[in-house]
Structure 1
């Protein structure tokens, strides 16, 4: 199996490198194309009308690793349209991200947005995130990813996008995985007013996560309960249920 790896934490991030070693141990053929630095909250942004710089930083024989100066989506575009144009992978995996990508945060996530490119190219894709990334739990999460690849892709032939989030405590195994829908992620104190070095007022978008108000059958509540949240996502965003309503509004 040929897997394209990417992320939004950067090519040298521990999560991606741990996942690379795990997948390589199972004789997967890997191509790694990732940002050359931190690109969190890049969402689905692309670099347009500005140069992209790509540098080969391969360190392991047989695994090509390329650092890209742009966003996570840029990385997938560069891989699929250039580096792997004639050598299409079987699967895209984005992660392992340091920090959750739950609920409405998937709209802003560079990790998830890279995975969202999968269906555009006719490929299944995983976005994998965790809180509390110790070396041990990161390795365990990489093992889990391989187990999910076997269950969902090799045996299940799942064609779409899977968003995986791992809590900071609890068992990391298939037995602790729950399939749950996405909800809205609530934040408090989102805007922080601060003073710059010269005394100017500036603002930081931050926020405190509220894990207490999410519906029971949701990704946020799943994490709150100590389970691993697995959520199928879709790239096509048409609100099919209201098409007839809109047609009716226009015909009146």
Structure 2
């Protein structure tokens, strides 16, 4: 019987994504972990915490050296849920890792992220988890940066598993890790909080579409990028208008601790939970506002 800790890996970029493969190779190379993989069979970027409900999903075993791996026709949350269910693997893993994502996941983009959802689903099922993203920049980053990112995360992974074994690891959160573009010269770990940074997006009418619902990686959410979404010659159905998203501007401020720290070259470590509570001043406002609603409604009807 294998006494090593069990790690299950998922992602949102798909089973063949270089970030996922680099993370698996680094984990396997340590020979310290029993590595399992349950990842989408195609790209699922920016699907957030969507789940498959009305249809079945398929799982196909995939050959990945040193790991037991399955490609699943579902979302990252589906993959985590299936991987934890004992329907696919014989036991529940000690730790779930989701990533390494192509593109950072800070601020409000955490809500959109399928990578973060893969870890959040484990949190919902009381299994410790970490989402991992690399701040890929086109023309600067290269595939080897994923390996460096995975290696940089090994001390955190080891420490988390040690605390799990000692029953000292907190169960009220999961971790979101973002690694800087210049990972080779990273400045170390920094504990951060989720900020409010976001890339504001608009819509542009197009004359051809993306067949089969193909998605662009979150890497393309770069306001400085001159690239445009790939287009195809598929005709627009009669009577329908076709639109595609485009990035208009980035919105952030100096209080966005995760985003700013990442841009300064730190590996950001942000504890998250499954809830998005309103800020204190909103709670204060509505505490006084809600009791007055019936009276205000009655007076407005006069």
TM-score normalised over the length of structure 2: 0.74
What's the Cα RMSD here?
A: 2.6
Which string of whole-angstrom CA distances, capped at 9 and with x for unpartnered residues, describes residues 175-211 of structure 1?
5221111112232453233233557742212315527
1:45 pairs with 2:50: yes
In the alignment, what sits opposite 2:180?
Answer: 167
Larger mean CA deviation between 140-149 and 34-43 belongs to 140-149
Q: SS where residue 77 of structure 1 aligns?
A: helix
Structure 2 residue runs without a partner (length 5+): 209-232, 293-302
Q: SS where residue 58 of structure 1 aligns?
A: strand
**In 1, Cα distance between the equivalents of 2:54 and 2:147?**
39
Point out the structure with max Rg over C-alpha.
Answer: 2
**In 1, Cα distance between the equivalents of 2:102 and 2:157?**
20
Which string of whole-angstrom CA distances, capped at 9 and with x for unpartnered residues, describes residues 128-148 of structure 1?
111235232111111112111
Indicate which of 127, 148, 160 corresponds to 2:156. Answer: 148
Q: SS where residue 12 of structure 1 aligns?
A: coil
Indicate which of 7, 16, 23 corresponds to 2:20. Answer: 16
1:66 pairs with 2:70: yes
In the alignment, what sits opposite 1:210?
Answer: 250
Indicate which of 15, 36, 40 corresponds to 2:41. Answer: 36
Q: Name the count of aligned residue pairs.
A: 249
1:185 pairs with 2:197: yes
TM-score normalised over the length of structure 1: 0.87
Shift of 1:247: 5.6
**In 1, Cα distance between the equivalents of 2:269 and 2:192?**
6
Q: SS where residue 151 of structure 2 aligns?
A: helix
- How has the CA–CA distance of structure 1 residues 219 and 23 changed in structure 2, closer, same or farther, with 3 Å as cutoff? same
1:236 pairs with 2:275: yes
Shift of 1:98: 0.8
Shift of 1:250: 4.5
Larger mean CA deviation between 90-99 and 237-246 belongs to 237-246
Shift of 1:83: 3.5
1:131 pairs with 2:132: no
- 8 Å Cα contact 2:94-2:161 kept in structure 1: no
